[in-house]
Amino acid sequence: LRVAELLSKRLGVPTGYTVAVRKVESFSPGNIHIQYSSVNKKKKEAYELKVNDSEILLSADSAAGIFYGVQTLIQLFPKQVESKKEIKDFAWTVPAVSIEDSPRFWWRGSMLDVARHFFTKQQVKEFIDNMVKYKFNVLHLHLADDQGWRLEIKSLPKLTDVGAWRPERKGKWGNTPRPSPNEPKTYGGFYTQEDMKELIAYAKDRFVEILPEIDVPGHSLAAIASYPELSCTDSFYQVNIGDKIIDWSQKGFPSLLDNTLCPANEKVYVFLDKVFTEVAELFPFGYIHMGGDETSKNFWMKSPQIKSLMKEKGFTTMSEVFGYFVGRTAKIVQSKGKKVIGWDEATDATLPEGMIIMDWKGLKGGSKAAKQGHQVVMSPTTFAYYDLYQGDPVAEPPTYSMLRLSQSYKFDPLPEGVDEKLILGGQGNIWTEQIQNVRALQYMMYPRVFAIAESVWSQQRSKDWKTFIKKVENEFERMDVAEIKYSRSMYDPIFKSYTDGDNLILDMQTEIEDLKIHYSFDGSFPDNFYPEYTKPLIIPKDVADVRVITYRNGKQTGKLITMPVSELQKRAKKK
C-alpha cells in the first residue's frame, strides 16, 4: 500500500489528477492494478508489468518488486511526468508493453561522500529519490574523513563539536592555504542521530538500505583533531580544509602530517568501541564499513609505541601492524552483530574471518578476496568513480584522472574466474573533494550513473552500447524537465596529438557515432559550415588554439572546446 501511495503522489503533481489508492477484490478497466503474485521465486525483487488499452497491471512477489516495477512504469510515461508542477491540457499516455524483469545483483549501491563537503538532510533525501529511479538499493554514506566527522556520537561529543567544522575555502582542492589556529571554523555540519533516523526511515520507504562508513585508521584527521590522544604523534591537529595532506608522488604515499589512528594505543580501541556501538544501534542495515584505505605508515615507522607493539607481537612489517588494527577493529564491529566491510587494502594483510571487501583499486583486490572465500562488492575506480573527468580536462571541472562514459559502460561486477556467489554486486562512488554543491554533484554523476545502473541490474549479455546511448539521450530530456544537471561530455571529441618530424598532428575521435567535428584555427566559433574534421590535422605553426564543436544533423551537440596548442604539444608523442 505504501508503494501505491508513493506512486499516487508521484503522478499527482505533474498530472494534476487525484490518484486514489484503495484495495479492491477484483480489477476494473481503466485503472492501475498492483498485485502480489508469484513471478520469480529465485529473485525476490522481480516484477511483471503489462500495459494494454484497458489497464496497467503490475505483479510481484514482494513489495520491493512492486516498487521497482513502479519505477519502470514511471519511465514509460512522457518526459513531462518529471515536472515539479502541474502540466495542464496534456494527454498522458503509456505505451503497450509486457515486461518481465529482475536484477542481476542484490547489492546495487551509490556512495556519497558527505565528509569532504557536507550535504544537508534534504539534499540526501533528493539523492535517494534520484538513485531509486534507476533501481539502486544501497546508499553508502562516507561519514568520516580528514575534512569532517558527520555523525553525532553521543558518548564522544567533540567529534561533532570540533570534527564537523573547519574554515571555509572555495578554491581548488589541494591548493588551499592552511588555516591559522584562530581562523573561524564555520564551514561544515553533521547529522544528529534523530536526523539519521529520519533519513533511514525515508530510505526504507524506498527500499534503500543505508551503509555507514567510518574510515579508519587513515583519513582520521577530523577524529584526531577532536581527540588528539588517538594519534601516535604528539602534534597540533586541525580538521583539514583541503590543503595537501599526502604526497601522492612518493612510494607508499607518505602523509605530510599524521592523519592515522594509532594501532598501538588501547585508547583507540575504546574509542572505536564507543563509535561502533552507537553506529550499530542507529543503523538497521546488517553491514558497517570500517574504511581501511590509503593508510600512510611513515609516522608509524617513527613511533616508539608502534615499535613496542611490533616487538611484543613479533611483527616485522608495517603491513602486519595494519593487519593487526584491521583485525581488532573488525572484531569490534562484528561484536555488535554486524558484518564488517573494508576497502581492498585490507587484502594486503591477513583478512579477518567473515570480512567483506569493497573493491576500488581496479578488479584485482576484489578478485583476490573472492578467491580467498570472502564476499565482495565491486566499485573499481577504473569503471565506477563518478568524480573523474568524463571529457577532456581543458573543458571539465578539476580532478585527477579520466573515466569516460564508454569505459563505465564496460563495467562487469563479476570478474573472470570468480565465483558469482561471492560477488554481492556493484556500486558507483562519488567522492566530493572537488564537489562543493548539488549541481556540481549532479554534473559529475550523470550520465555515468546510467552505465553503472545497467551493469548491476541487467545481464551482461543484454548490454548494447548504441541502444544504451539512445536511452541516455531520452533520459537527458527527462532530466531537463526535472531540472537535474548532467554532463554532455559524451558528445565532445577525444583529442590525441603526436609529432611527425617538425609537424604537430592532431587526431580526433568521438565517443559516440553519427557526430561531425567542425573546427577553426583562427579563434572563431566553428559552426557546422566550418571545415569538417575527416583526417588528422597538421597544426599550422602560427596557431595558438584549436576550437572544436561537434554537430549532429546540423545541430550542435557538444560544447565549444578551446584546445591550446601548447597543451597538444605537452601531450604529443613521437610517431
What residues are labeled active site? 145, 219, 294
Going by C-alpha positions, the residue among 105, 132, 102 that lies closest to residue 209 is 132
Q: Give SS3 for 246.
A: strand
Q: How far apart are CA 412 and CA 341, in angstroms?
A: 21
With residues binned 3-state (H G I as helix, E B as strand, rest as coil), the percentages for the chain, rounded to 5, are 35, 20, 45
Q: How far apart are CA 424 and CA 107, in angstroms?
A: 6
Name 385's bridge partners. Answer: 429
**In Å, how far from its chain's centre is CA 454?**
15
CB 117 within 8 A of CB 169: no
Q: How far apart are CA 136 and CA 125, in angstroms?
A: 14
Sequence-distant (6+) residues with CB within 8 A of 535 are: none
Q: Dump the DSSP string for 47-68.
A: EEEEE-SS-EEEEESSHHHHHH
Query: How is residue 432 written as a grid cell?
Result: 566530493
CB neighbour class for 316 (10 Å; exposed up to 12, middle 13-18, buried from 19): exposed
- Between the alpha carbon of residue 172 and those of residues 60, 254, 435, 483, the distances in Å are 49, 21, 10, 26
Query: How is residue 409 written as a grid cell?
Result: 559502460
Long-range contacts of 392-395 (CB under 8 A, 24+ apart): 392/492, 392/493, 392/494, 392/495, 392/561, 392/563, 394/561, 394/562, 394/563, 394/564, 394/567, 395/489, 395/492, 395/559, 395/561, 395/562
Going by C-alpha positions, the residue among 56, 67, 69 that lies closest to residue 2 is 67
Length of the chain: 575
DSSP type of residue 557: -
Rg (CA), the chain: 26
Q: For strand 516-520 and strand 545-552, is the pairing parallel, antiparallel, or unpaired?
A: antiparallel
- Between the alpha carbon of residue 418 and those of residues 108, 371, 457, 463, the distances in Å are 19, 7, 19, 21
Angle between helices 266-282 and 318-335 (to 10 degrees): 40
Q: What residue type is assigned to position 135 of the chain?
A: K
Q: Is residue 201 within a helix (H) or strand (E), and if so which, with residue range?
A: helix 193-205
Q: Give SS3 for 422.
A: helix
Query: How is residue 152 written as a grid cell?
Result: 553525532
